[in-house]
Structure 1
Amino acid sequence: MKLTLRQMQIFLNVVASGHLTNVAKEMKLSQSAISMSIKELENILGRPVFDRINKKLVLNEVGRAFHKEIDPIFKKLTDIEYEFKNSENKGMIRVGASTTIVDYLMPSIICSYMSAYPDVKITLKEGNTQEITQMIQEGSIDVGFVEGFVSGSDIIKEKIGIDELVVVTSDKNLCDTCYIDELADKRWVLREEGSGTREVFLDYIKEKVDNLNIFFELGHTESIKSILMNRECLTCISKISVENELREGKLHQVDVKNFECKRDFLMIYHKDKYHSTLFEKFLFFSKKLMMQMLDNESKINFKA
């Protein structure tokens, strides 16, 4: 498309005024610049749009048809420009989050945010920590919420909370007090490689367990819980993801001695990400709300 917004603007101003001199003065351009813009527009369209009558430009039949089409489009573009220049709470934010956070924290945060800022659209992508980090590096999302280890000098990381990992099972016979190495030969179901939950757990036990009997790997926490409730096996999982099952007696926390496996929940974004007012507001809102939710969870667990 060769036609420019500047040419549209000049054309519409000439239509309204009829005199190049007036338009040039109003737009702070030379009369020759205005005249050249009109000629370029007519060359693009392949036909004149004005009749030159008594030193005045008057729309001809082609110009009237062109004006009818272009006037509402230009006004709409002007309205959009004004709206975005003068509205800090309008736009789209692309969010990514790892599975645990997507399932148990982000829905409440996003619903609360969109209630407060109804003109903001949120898109949410799910993946493991490694996948979300890659999305940040590729620029396919604006901000990510993950747990575990995040590498890369181009990634900004902000700690927003602490998550506790617990060993759980549906088999009460496995719930007696023991050390983690005594459970190594039992059947374990873990998240897939790249999962923050898996990486933190395996790193935590690497000096105590030489070989963990991993018989199944799954890509989603809910799938792991389903397996646990139908097979005699163990997993290490975020406590916030199994609170209901523990409370209802569907799953049981194993009393593992000297086992305090915790990890940071992180908010990440690219170091070169432009921080618009809208982006900054979302960071502040989501960070504050997630910290409150995690704090409330820890208080409930403490009372329990």
Structure 2
Amino acid sequence: MRYTLRQLEVFVAVGRYQSASRAAEELGLSQSATSTALAELEKQFDVRLFDRFGKRLQLNELGHQLLPRAIELLDRAAEVEHALNGEAGLAHLHIGATVTIGNYLASLLVGEYLQCHPGSQIKLGVHNTATVIQQVAHFEIDFGLVEGDCQHPELEVENWVADELVIFAAPEHPLARAGKATLAELARVPWIVREAGSGTRQTFDAALRHIGSKLDIRLELEQTEAIKRAVESGLGVGCISRLALRDAFQRGSLVPIAVDGLDLSRQFHFVVHKQKFRTPGMQAFLQLCRDVAANVAVSDEIVLGRHAAA
């Protein structure tokens, strides 16, 4: 063979980050060693895999074609090394999850997965929907678990489980004491909401589109726990997944507010690049996700813990 796995690792890292310095950091190499490995790969085959724009490297057409094949080859090589080392796990997984899924489901799913496959390694990153979709599209992660819509033409989207947002307030709030509100009343109170680019904000904006311009949005936050604390302190009302509010509703520290005719339902999805090789580890984790949601109607009915023992 006229190329090495190390050269492919360098090519893939540079392709993901579009930067030799970031690729070097990821691989634990010097920048000169990274640049040399990439230059040797291109020289051996007399090709160019990147267009150069100063220090930025952008995959050209050939590079785009090669990237998913190189990733697949490296994934298969990792499986071979795992087997030769006698390790029982399913190699390394890099998963992206949006904030609600990441905080309330994904970390628990990772725990169950590692109990079933104790030799495996998982890296879980939690970001908003737009960021996770971008990471999947650039092959920076193996797959994403997202709560917003995805229309990216290079990604495959699979429905996972239904979810529902709920409007809520502190118990002493006038709307909480009433237990319900009209759209006109919602337009007269301050709001604490998720940031633009999040799946939660996407669903919220769509549901309240008729009065969106009238809403008094006082605060935008990236974390659902921060929104809950702000609402508990009386700063306004919020709207996040019922999954994230399950414990607070049981304690009575927050109260749901019903709004007739308001559709706050949505879907959680799996997002995988169409050209991504699905390793046994990926397939096993996605199947675990399907299994825990197989007999539930909405996300907050998922109970984790029984599958690892099954």
TM-score (norm 2): 0.66
**Pairwise CA distance, 1:298:** 3.9
How many residue pairs were aligned?
226
- Hey, what does 1:188 align to over in structure 2? 191
Q: In 2, are the aligned partners of 1:164 and 1:262 still within 8 Å (CA)?
A: yes
Question: Which segment is superposed worse, 237-246 or 250-259?
Answer: 250-259
Q: Could you tell me how far apart the structure 2 residues matched to 1:296 and 1:264 are?
A: 9
Gap regions ≥5 residues in structure 1: 6-76
Q: Percent identity?
A: 27
**Structure 2: gaps of 5 or more residues:** 6-76, 304-310
Deviation of 1:209 after TM superposition, in Å, equals 4.3
* Alpha-carbon contact 1:165-1:261 (below 8 Å) kept: yes
Structure 1, residues 118-153: CA drift from partner, whole Å, max 9, x if none? Answer: 111111001001111011011111011011211211
Q: 1:288 aligns with which of 288, 291, 297?
A: 291
Quick one: structure 1 residues 101 and 299, their matched pair in 2 at CA, closer, same or farther if it must change by over 3 Å? closer
Once residues 226 and 82 of structure 2 are traced to their aligned partners in structure 1, the CA distance between those partners, rounded to angstroms, is 48
CA distance in 1, matches of 2:295, 2:88: 25
Q: What letter matches 2:129 in structure 1? A: T
Separation in structure 2 between the aligned mates of residue 229 and residue 88 of structure 1, nearest angstrom: 46
> Partner residue of 1:104?
104
Paired residue for 2:234, among 231, 234, 242?
A: 231
Is 1:121 matched with 2:121? yes
**Cα RMSD after superposing both structures:** 2.9
Partner of 2:69: none
1:119-268 pair list within 5 angstroms: 119-170=119-170, 171-175=172-176, 176=178, 177-268=180-271
The CA deviation at 1:156 is 0.6
Report the AA paired with residue 223 of structure 2.
H
Quote how far apart the aligned CAs of 1:247 are. 1.3
Distance in 1, Cα, partners of 2:86 & 2:284: 16
Q: Which amino acid aligns with 2:237?
A: L
Q: How far apart, in 2, do the equivalents of 1:91 and 1:293 lie?
A: 30
TM-score for the superposition, normalised by structure 1: 0.68
Spell out, residue by residue over 1:25-65, the C-alpha distance to the aligned partner (whole angstroms, 9 max, x if none). Answer: xxxxxxxxxxxxxxxxxxxxxxxxxxxxxxxxxxxxxxxxx
Q: What is the CA distance between 1:280 and its match in structure 2?
A: 1.6
Other structure's SS at 1:197 match? helix
Distance 1:84 1:211 in 2: 63
Residue 245 of structure 1, CA deviation:
1.0
